[in-house]
């Protein structure tokens, strides 16, 4: 059915974005509401003849009004409150502080993007005076909620510094009274009962990598210590952490990430079953990164289309399990669904507008250098310091937050400034990573890259499923528990 | 391949926006034919070699997308003030100007227009020869 743009009723139609969707139209608006309209209804809608829709479907008519698509029936207080909630992350300040306590690592992963050094390489550990300056710098940031995340290399190779930071940050916070969250990202190879006890006592959540069953995990994630089988060690500790979670009142479920390589293809069920067997309640299907050293992973690479096929296959299996009573979920889907189905935004750094670089997160290298994000820190290992915004010993909070690079990242990730994104139907749910653009094309502005295609395809799939009430109920169950949402992000 | 588009039907913004969507597969050159009936002449050159049939399909897709872009432009222009009002209230708690008509359209404004007098030099507004009451000046600050 053709659209006659001359017949648009300017007084009746509120702002919306749209696209053709399986024979219908999907319309969304600035506060993330969505609605499906049959072509006839879409034409009635833009002509301001919503009474025509009411005659055929009163529920659809109410939906259009309640979701703020009808201009002369807007509830401004509701609209403003929802817009404020959806952009609450803008007032939270720089809350995520990633500390790379060492660049040394005892694994040699096929796709490593962290540019780690060898296990015995000297001069790659953060010393205690630098760690103290890092914590002092973190508390200069005015954000009321602070998350300190330990990354590497393998952070437990420099556990003394991890321990110092945790204790010093907690001590410092007694005066500051911020909401302090601590998180460790580790391959668990150096974890001991004593360290685990310390982490539990200090309420540190633990996240690791699990690439599926042993035959995939151990090919991707090669332990340099011949006495350690990476897969078996990871699974052993995941079980132990789960037991602590269930029996000792430890607040944090174990968490794991999957980096999808072409070795995963054809094994989606096996991988998900492995996660469930390991006591995990979700999986995060992340595509291979093009950051830093990851290009060396060419032999593991694939097209964005192949990734999407794998993603759909996996999500279908997860939904099948949910229909049988499981509550297992996929985290990328969860992030999008949280934006689609609730009045709030999870503030996920890579999927917000503007992105979190500098204004939501910063990364501290082992030597005290500060970067807009961990990916910016990774690039520095290749000699590209474009995303360095200061050093803990020489720069103030003001220097960092007003750094031209922080401003550039902000402008280039604000979807309203990007022609193809500003009009995209998925704009309310999406985000871009200027640093990813930079690594792909040396340009922080880059239209239609693989990430855009992957996000678009995942959202297409989720909206397709949302048209089915059975699946919609599952999705609503996933996002219902906000506490779970925050824990998952 | 050339397409002539009347700007009375297809706003320039819609034309530019549509070209941008096809920028991966087509080289564009735009020119203005400023006759009585103003037209934009869009020259398209596919980046890859295509058959005549494929070129026709590409042109058809371009024309369809142009229509969608025109609709987007109209909806966007007509709701500009409402969106600005919502963003200002939500993010900055800015009180609305009581004389501000949310439902009026900005369509007739040109970028050179200056209804609030922002571009008028201070000297012209309040210079030595202008007798402006102090109260009036303060009310504008």
Distance, in Å, from the CA atom of B89 to the CA atom of B83, rounded to the nearest integer, reads: 10
| Model ipTM over 0.90 | no
Whether B54 has its CB under 8 Å from any CB of chain A: the answer is no
> What does DSSP say about strands A179-185 and A145-151: parallel, antiparallel, or unpaired?
parallel
Interface test with A, best of B78, B95, B102, B103 (most A CBs within 10 A): B78
Angle formed at CA A27 by CA A472 and CA A421, multiple of 5 degrees: 105
Q: By CB neighbour count within 10 A (0-12 exposed, 13-18 middle, 19+ buried), where does A17 fall?
A: buried
Q: With bands split at pLDDT 50, 70 and 90, how would you rate the model's confidence at B124? A: confident
Beta bridge partners, A21, equal A24
pLDDT in tens, chain A (489 residues): 566 666 778 788 999 999 999 999 999 999 999 999 999 999 999 988 888 888 888 999 999 999 999 998 999 999 999 999 999 999 999 999 999 999 999 998 888 866 677 788 888 999 999 999 999 999 999 999 999 999 989 999 999 999 999 999 999 999 988 999 999 999 999 999 999 999 999 999 999 999 999 999 999 999 998 889 999 999 999 999 998 888 877 788 889 999 999 999 999 999 999 999 988 999 999 998 766 455 566 778 889 999 999 999 999 999 999 999 999 999 999 999 999 999 999 889 999 999 999 999 999 999 999 999 999 999 998 889 999 999 999 999 999 999 999 999 999 999 998 888 999 999 999 999 999 999 888 889 876 788 899 999 999 999 999 999 999 999 999 998 654 544 445
Distance between start and end Cα atoms, chain B: 55
Whether A324 has its CB under 8 Å from any CB of chain B: the answer is no
* A14 with B105: Cβ contact below 8 A: no
What pLDDT score was predicted for residue A80?
A: 94
Whether B83 has its CB under 8 Å from any CB of chain A: the answer is yes
Interface test with B, best of A8, A15, A441 (most B CBs within 10 A): A15
Whether B68 has its CB under 8 Å from any CB of chain A: the answer is yes
Interface contacts (A, B; CB < 8 Å): 63
Beta bridge partners, A310, equal none
* A15 with B75: Cβ contact below 8 A: yes
DSSP B57-81: HHHHHHHHHHHHHHHHHHHHHHTHH
Which chain B residue lies closest to A20 (C-alpha atoms)? Answer: B68
* B71 with A30: Cβ contact below 8 A: no
Instruction: Return residues 58-97 of A near B (CB < 8 Å).
Output: 71, 74, 76, 79-81, 83-84, 87, 90
Q: With bands split at pLDDT 50, 70 and 90, how would you rate the model's confidence at B141? A: very low
Distance, in Å, from the CA atom of A75 to the CA atom of A85, rounded to the nearest integer, reads: 16
Interface test with B, best of A343, A416, A423 (most B CBs within 10 A): A423
Q: pLDDT tens digits, residue range A222-242?
A: 999 888 999 999 999 999 999
What pLDDT score was predicted for residue A105?
A: 93
Residues 6+ away with beta carbon under 8 Å from A328: A272, A275, A276, A281, A282, A283, A318, A321, A322
* B71 with A84: Cβ contact below 8 A: no
* A16 with B75: Cβ contact below 8 A: yes
Instruction: Return residues 422-451 of A near B (CB < 8 Å).
Output: 423, 447-448
Q: How large is the average pLDDT for residues B88-106? A: 66
For residue A122, the distance in angstroms to the closest alpha carbon of chain B comes to 47
Q: pLDDT tens digits, residue range A41-83?
A: 999 999 888 888 888 889 999 999 999 999 989 999 999 999 9
* A5 with B67: Cβ contact below 8 A: yes
Interface test with A, best of B18, B86, B96 (most A CBs within 10 A): B86
Cβ neighbours, 10 Å, residue A416: 11
The single residue listed with the structure tokens 């207080």 is A77
Q: Which two tokens stand for residue A24?
A: 């219908």
Q: Which two tokens stand for residue A278?
A: 């390991």
Residues of A in contact with B72 (CB under 8 A): 17, 423
CATH assignment, B2-79:
3.30.70
What pLDDT score was predicted for residue B139?
A: 34
Q: Which two tokens stand for residue A346?
A: 């999870």
3-state secondary structure of A314: helix
* B79 with A3: Cβ contact below 8 A: no
Q: How large is the average pLDDT for residues B93-117? A: 61
What pLDDT score was predicted for residue A52?
A: 86
* B90 with A83: Cβ contact below 8 A: yes
DSSP A5-62: GGG--TTTBPP-EEEEETTEEEEE-TT--EEEE-HHHHHHHHTT-HHHHHHH-HHHHH
Enumerate helices (H) and strands (E) in chain B, giving the number of each. 5, 3
Q: pLDDT tens digits, residue range B4-51?
A: 999 988 999 999 999 998 988 899 999 988 887 889 999 999 999 989
Which chain A residue lies closest to B88 (C-alpha atoms)? Answer: A80
For residue A10, the distance in angstroms to the closest alpha carbon of chain B comes to 6
Among the listed residues B74, B77, B39, B11, the one whose alpha carbon sits nearest the alpha carbon of residue A5:
B74
* A30 with B89: Cβ contact below 8 A: no
What pLDDT score was predicted for residue A388?
A: 97
Distance, in Å, from the CA atom of B132 to the CA atom of B116, rounded to the nearest integer, reads: 18
Closest CB from A8, A11, A14 relative to B74: A8
For residue B69, the distance in angstroms to the closest alpha carbon of chain A comes to 9
Whether A7 has its CB under 8 Å from any CB of chain B: the answer is no
Closest CB from A14, A18, A448 relative to B79: A14
Which chain B residue lies closest to A84 (C-alpha atoms)? Answer: B90
Beta bridge partners, A180, equal A146
Q: pTM, whole model, 2 decimals?
A: 0.87
Residues of A in contact with B90 (CB under 8 A): 80-81, 83-84, 87
* B103 with A79: Cβ contact below 8 A: no
Distance, in Å, from the CA atom of B109 to the CA atom of A32, rounded to the nearest integer, reads: 30
Per the CB < 8 A criterion, the answer to whether A100 and A158 are in contact is: no
Whether A4 has its CB under 8 Å from any CB of chain B: the answer is no
Per the CB < 8 A criterion, the answer to whether A486 and A147 are in contact is: no
Among the listed residues A193, A195, A109, the one whose alpha carbon sits nearest the alpha carbon of residue A152:
A109
Cβ neighbours, 10 Å, residue A193: 8
């Amino acid at each position: 059915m053709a659209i006659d743009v001359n017949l648009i009723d300017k007084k009746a139609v509120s702002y919306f974005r749209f696209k053709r969707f399986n024979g219908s139209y999907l319309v969304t608006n600035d506060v993330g509401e969505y609605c499906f309209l049959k072509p006839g209804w879409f034409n009635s809608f833009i002509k301001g003849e919503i009474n025509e829709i009411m005659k055929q479907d009163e529920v659809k008519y109410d939906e259009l009004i309640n979701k703020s698509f009808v201009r002369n029936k807007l509830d401004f207080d509701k609209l403003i409150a929802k817009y404020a909630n959806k952009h609450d992350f803008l007032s939270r300040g720089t809350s995520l502080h990633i500390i790379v306590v060492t660049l040394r690592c005892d694994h040699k992963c096929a796709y490593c993007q962290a540019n780690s050094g060898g296990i015995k390489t000297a001069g790659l550990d953060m010393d205690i005076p630098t760690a103290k300056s890092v914590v002092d710098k973190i508390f200069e940031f005015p954000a009321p909620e602070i998350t300190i995340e330990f990354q590497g290399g393998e952070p437990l190779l420099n556990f003394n510094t991890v321990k110092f930071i945790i204790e010093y940050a907690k001590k410092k916070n007694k005066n500051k009274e911020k909401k302090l969250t601590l998180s460790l990202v580790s391959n668990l190879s150096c974890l001991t009962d004593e360290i685990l006890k310390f982490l539990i006592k200090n309420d540190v959540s633990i996240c690791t990598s699990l690439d599926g069953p042993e035959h995939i995990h151990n090919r991707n994630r090669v332990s340099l210590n011949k006495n350690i089988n990476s897969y078996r060690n990871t699974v052993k500790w995941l079980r132990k952490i789960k037991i602590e979670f269930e029996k000792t009142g430890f607040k944090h479920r174990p968490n794991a990430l999957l980096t999808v390589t072409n070795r995963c293809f054809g094994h989606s069920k096996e991988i998900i079953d492995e996660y469930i067997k390991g006591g995990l309640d979700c999986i995060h299907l992340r595509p291979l990164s093009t950051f830093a050293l990851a290009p060396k992973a060419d032999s593991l690479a694939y097209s964005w289309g192949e990734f999407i096929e794998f993603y759909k296959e996996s999500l279908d299996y997860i939904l099948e399990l949910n229909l049988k009573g499981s509550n297992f979920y996929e985290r990328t889907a969860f992030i999008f669904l949280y934006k689609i189905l609730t009045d709030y935004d999870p503030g996920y750094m890579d999927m917000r507008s503007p992105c979190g670089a500098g204004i939501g997160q910063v990364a501290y290298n082992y030597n005290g250098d500060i970067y807009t994000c961990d990916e910016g820190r990774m690039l520095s290992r290749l000699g590209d310091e474009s995303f360095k915004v200061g050093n803990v010993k020489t720069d103030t909070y003001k220097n960092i937050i007003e750094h031209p690079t922080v401003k550039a990242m902000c402008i280039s990730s604000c979807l309203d400034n990007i022609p193809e994104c500003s009009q995209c139907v998925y704009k309310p749910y999406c985000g871009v990573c200027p640093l990813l653009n930079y690594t792909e094309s040396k340009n922080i502005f880059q239209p239609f890259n693989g990430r855009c295609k992957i996000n678009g395809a995942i959202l297409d799939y989720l909206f397709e499923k949302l048209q089915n009430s059975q699946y919609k109920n599952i999705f609503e169950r996933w996002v219902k528990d906000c506490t779970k949402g925050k824990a998952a992000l | 391949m050339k397409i002539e588009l009347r700007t009375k039907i297809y706003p320039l913004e819609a034309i530019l926006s549509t070209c941008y969507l096809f920028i991966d597969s087509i080289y564009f050159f735009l020119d203005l034919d400023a006759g009585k009936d103003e037209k934009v002449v869009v020259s398209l050159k596919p980046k890859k070699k295509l058959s005549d049939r494929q070129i026709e399909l590409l042109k058809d897709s371009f024309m369809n997308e142009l229509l969608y872009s025109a609709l987007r432009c109209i909806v966007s222009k007509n709701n500009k003030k409402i969106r600005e009002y919502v963003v200002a209230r939500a993010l900055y708690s800015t009180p609305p100007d009581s004389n501000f008509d949310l439902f009026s359209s900005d369509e007739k404004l040109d970028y050179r227009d200056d209804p609030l007098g922002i571009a008028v030099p201070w000297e012209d507004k309040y210079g030595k020869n202008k007798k402006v009451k102090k109260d009036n000046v303060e009310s504008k600050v």
